[in-house]
Structure 1
Amino acid sequence: MEFSLKSFRCLAQAAPLALLLSACAVGSDYVKSNVETPPAFKEQVGWKIAQPADLQIPEKWWEMYNDPVLNKLEEQVTISNQTVIQAEAQYRQARALVQAASAAYYPTVAANVSSTRTSGTSTTKDTSSAVTGPSTTDLLTANVSWEPDIWGRVRRTIEANTSSAQASAAELQAMRLSTQAQLAQDYFQLRDQDADRQLYDKTVIDYKKSLELTQHQFDFGMVLRANVVLAETLLKQTEAQAIDFDVARAQMEHAIALLVGKPASTFSIAQVDKFDTQIPVLPLGLPSALLERRPDIANAERLVAAANAQIGVSKSAYFPDLTLAATGGYQSSGLANWISLPNRIWSLGPSLAETLFDGGARKAVTDQAIAAYDASVANYRQTVLAGFREVEDNIAALRILEQEAKKQEEAVKLSRRSVELMIKQYEAGLITYLDVITVETTALSNERVYVDLLNKRLSANVLLIKALGGGWSASQLPTANAVEKPNNKS
């Protein structure tokens, strides 16, 4: 538009100077905080240390268990788990804040069209007043204003929002990993309930045979009636205990339904004939690698970067704000000659604003930003320490539980042999049925402990995968450019 070319040229000539002044940004640039990392995990005695060329934990780590049902369930977590969907929406929200902050780099352009009808009085030179008739004022203007980022306030704000968005992306991955791990644990717990129920069902069959044998011996006067009652009691007690497993299984099934985003009333998992999932061996890296592989640590580190940038934002408030503005347009009392050279209006002028006294408000905001930074550094270091602890906990659990399982397997074999021998002695009338009950109860207890040990080992294995980051890497975080793109998707 001709009316504003002069104004815009002046604004364009002032822009390079403003850009030159905005080459600096107050506040210190971010440097990652140092954290103490041990040279090796204490509990990894006898554990193979993963080398760079070794197979790492895959992104779909649950496939290492070779369970098609588990694989199908895990695939549904990202799609339909509502907590993960909520975290993904929060990441998009954080990314939009970056885009909003980036808009401050550009000038604001506005247009205004108005038509005003007024009437009033006019004053002559002799100070007398006369009533004038109504008049119309038509106005068309365009306004351009730009606040150059001289002190880096916008730059630091974008830096803070970008780091926060990256932290949100890491939090999204941490939520996915946590949900996937919880699903695997619940699934193995459900299979443990199935295995326990099958064990008790088998035991019920054996106790029925024992009852038949005792009844037969009673009929021939070989044993007392008390032996029959004792056999019946043990059978009914075991049948009741077998039914009790259905409660825990139903609850696990409902918990899994929630994790995959399905109504519990329409969700079910069929039982399997045998639960003998193998426990995969996991590659361990150095503790220092943990800093780049856990999403919760990446989240905490990015929050430190965001807090550091906020210090620069708060310090920029100590410096004056420069605004470059230009207005151009047309003003006329009639539409006929409205847009014409004689009716052209324009204005151009920079403004400089500085707060001279605020009662210490800016200092308080800066102190708050520094304290928030210190708190985020402490949180980052605490998250790292917690990560080391989780790895150590589950390495120790796997190692110790494996040793226990070997001993328990021997106990199961011996208790089974003991039952066989005692039943033969009972049939021969050498011992009482109470002796048989004692060894059968011991055998059942050993069998159940062995089954539960498998579930504990699987749970520890899953938790170690989670503690090691689940195959994730900090290199998967979105870059600053990716965060700023409006159509970018995680």
Structure 2
Amino acid sequence: MTHRLLPLIAVSTLLAGCSMAPAYHVPTSVVPTSAFRADPGWVAATPSDAVAKGEWWRLFGDDTLNALEARVLITNQNLAYYRASYAQALATVRVDKAALLPTVGVTAGVTRQGTVSGRTQSQIGGAATSTTGSTFSAAGTASWAPDLWGALTNTTRGARAAAEASAAELANATLSAQGTLATSYFTLRGLDAQAQMLDTTIAGYRRALVITRNKFAAGTATSADVDTAQATLSNAEASRRDLDRQRIANETAIAVLVGQNPSTFAIARSDWHPVVPEVPGVVPSAVLERRPDIANAERLVAAANANIGVQRAAFFPSLSLSAQLGSNAGSLSSLFGAATSVWSLGASAAETLLDWGARSAKVAGARAAYDAAVATYRQTVLGAFQEVESDLAGVDAFRAEYEHYRIASQSADRAEQVTRNEYQAGTVDFTTVTAAQATAYNARTTLILNTVNQQNAAVSLIEAIGGQWTGAVDLHPSATPPKP
């Protein structure tokens, strides 16, 4: 019997390398063929798996931000979820790889049996007798389903691609959490700068109210002037309270990002020294290869391609090989003797003859799923290029706006001071002072917001290109906080 099965085993081993999946190629992408519009130094890239993103937050030169970003990697609960998902995907790969190998098992046991003869009604005075004995048994089994048509191999390939997609998903979630933390932190620091500026402004409004009341008492100002000064002060004080509200909202958001209870988390106020990193004039589009969402989409295409092979393999017969060696004996010493051992070796094949088109439908469904994955991949690439275009334009625009806002703020501050002096001299009415105060306050606020926008635009560009840009980057405070 054994020599008859040997040719079948040999053929099965040779066929185990076959695959019904189409040869996989990374889908082509409809992307700009020359350059990004906002930066002619960019060229088209071929997206691939996610790679290191770099500690890009260090470009902003803030020790508090550096410490918070380090905590995100450890204690953020969303990232903990994605890490667990990735570990689960890796375990699935190991399970599928194990299915390619034979399964070997062993069983052993001992049975004690006997007979008992008791007294009958006619043997009332007789004694009961019994006999006992033991039977020892052991058996080894092995089974293997050769992967004739690559179904198991493609299942493993699909699981591996899915695990790589999960790794890219983890990288994408990490980059997103780090970017969200940075923008929340910069917004919070901008609010602190506004609060400091507004505290100084309110002090000036209070002095203006005192002056106006004195002028009203002297008969050189009207009650309307006093009410206007009071309204200006009260509105500023209300705005100051709202800044506290916004700060708490950003502070609690940061607490959640670092995995801490917001009730026990606080970021101390500090002087504002913003750093806006200089974006290089040329950023090669190869950095798009580092976008983890593109890597995720491409790996899902590979998994869908492998699934086509799994479904196509169902059209061919499956083969299972099994072997067993066992022994039964009355004593351990004779358990493995030749006279007590039995063996068996077998093979079975199965083929579906009629399924009313179910297998064809599954193959068609797998191909449709592949087409959908390709479309998602291409859409992800297009979206990536759109984000880079927009973010490059945003970085350039905010940087160009800053100088205009700085000049406007300085001019408004001088105008406010002049009108205050003129009001005290009695050459202008208080309406002129109020208008100058409002203009100066708005200009200071706009300048602060522009600096925050520059920082957040840099973060957005970093997320769009999948991490820190390559090459040397000069750190300099291209945007400095306005002086109240």
- Whether TM exceeds 0.5 here: the answer is yes
How far apart, CA to CA, are the structure 1 residues paired with 2:85 and 2:98? 20
How far apart, CA to CA, are the structure 2 residues paired with 1:363 and 1:24? 20
> Which among 367, 392, 410 is matched to residue 370 of structure 1?
367
Which residue in 1 is equivalent to 2:167?
169
Q: What's the CA shift string for 1:56-87, capped at 9, x where partnerless?
A: 99600000000111111011111110101110
The Cα shift of 1:178 comes to 0.4
The answer to whether the 8 A contact 1:294-1:472 is kept is no
Residue 188 of structure 2 is aligned to residue 194 of structure 1: no
The answer to whether the 8 A contact 2:36-2:42 is kept is no
The verdict on how the C-alpha distance between 1:365 and 1:180 changes in structure 2, with shifts beyond 3 A counting, is same
How far apart, CA to CA, are the structure 1 residues paired with 2:52 and 2:137? 68
> Which among 427, 430, 433 is matched to residue 430 of structure 1?
427
The Cα shift of 1:425 comes to 1.2
Residue 79 of structure 2 is aligned to residue 84 of structure 1: yes
Which residue in 1 is equivalent to 2:402?
405
TM-score, length-scaled by structure 1:
0.85
Q: What's the CA shift string for 1:329-373, capped at 9, x where partnerless?
A: 112466674432211111112222212122222112211111110
Which residue in 2 is equivalent to 1:344?
341
RMSD, matched Cα: 2.8
How far apart, CA to CA, are the structure 1 residues paired with 2:177 and 2:53? 17
> Which among 8, 12, 18 is matched to residue 18 of structure 1?
12
Bigger shift: residues 351-360 or 87-96: 351-360
The verdict on how the C-alpha distance between 1:317 and 1:135 changes in structure 2, with shifts beyond 3 A counting, is farther
The Cα shift of 1:226 comes to 3.0
Bigger shift: residues 356-365 or 191-200: 356-365
The verdict on how the C-alpha distance between 1:113 and 1:11 changes in structure 2, with shifts beyond 3 A counting, is farther
Which residue in 1 is equivalent to 2:221?
223
Aligned with 2:326: secondary structure?
Answer: strand
Letter in 1 for 2:18: C
Aligned with 1:330: secondary structure?
Answer: strand
The Cα shift of 1:299 comes to 0.6
The answer to whether the 8 A contact 2:327-2:340 is kept is yes
How far apart, CA to CA, are the structure 1 residues paired with 2:329 and 2:254? 72
The answer to whether the 8 A contact 1:43-1:395 is kept is no
Letter in 1 for 2:140: A
Letter in 2 for 1:268: A
Residue 308 of structure 2 is aligned to residue 311 of structure 1: yes
The verdict on how the C-alpha distance between 1:49 and 1:385 changes in structure 2, with shifts beyond 3 A counting, is closer
Which residue in 1 is equivalent to 2:122?
none
Which residue in 1 is equivalent to 2:26?
32
> Which among 388, 394, 397 is matched to residue 385 of structure 2?
388
Q: Percent of aligned pairs with the same residue?
A: 37
Aligned with 2:346: secondary structure?
Answer: strand
The answer to whether the 8 A contact 1:109-1:145 is kept is yes
The Cα shift of 1:116 comes to 6.1
Residue 319 of structure 2 is aligned to residue 322 of structure 1: yes
Which residue in 1 is equivalent to 2:207?
209
Q: What's the CA shift string for 1:209-254, capped at 9, x where partnerless?
A: 2122223323333222332232222212211211111001001000
Which residue in 1 is equivalent to 2:246?
248
> Which among 446, 449, 472 is matched to residue 452 of structure 1?
449
The verdict on how the C-alpha distance between 1:262 and 1:11 changes in structure 2, with shifts beyond 3 A counting, is farther
How far apart, CA to CA, are the structure 2 residues paired with 1:147 and 1:64? 56
How far apart, CA to CA, are the structure 1 residues paired with 2:56 and 2:311? 44
The answer to whether the 8 A contact 1:320-1:355 is kept is yes
Which residue in 2 is equivalent to 1:181?
179
The Cα shift of 1:183 comes to 0.4
Structure 2 regions of 5+ residues with no counterpart? 46-50, 116-130, 471-484
The verdict on how the C-alpha distance between 1:12 and 1:189 changes in structure 2, with shifts beyond 3 A counting, is farther
Aligned with 1:105: secondary structure?
Answer: coil
The answer to whether the 8 A contact 1:408-1:446 is kept is yes
Letter in 1 for 2:209: L
Letter in 2 for 1:236: S
The answer to whether the 8 A contact 1:110-1:144 is kept is yes
Aligned with 2:54: secondary structure?
Answer: coil
Aligned with 1:458: secondary structure?
Answer: helix
The answer to whether the 8 A contact 2:412-2:440 is kept is yes
Aligned with 2:99: secondary structure?
Answer: helix
Residue 61 of structure 2 is aligned to residue 66 of structure 1: yes
How far apart, CA to CA, are the structure 1 residues paired with 2:325 and 2:469? 55
Structure 1 regions of 5+ residues with no counterpart? 1-5, 121-132, 474-490
The Cα shift of 1:134 comes to 10
The Cα shift of 1:280 comes to 3.0
Which residue in 2 is equivalent to 1:270?
268
How far apart, CA to CA, are the structure 2 residues paired with 1:57 and 1:88? 16
> Which among 44, 54, 57 is matched to residue 38 of structure 2?
44
The answer to whether the 8 A contact 1:415-1:442 is kept is yes
TM-score, length-scaled by structure 2:
0.86
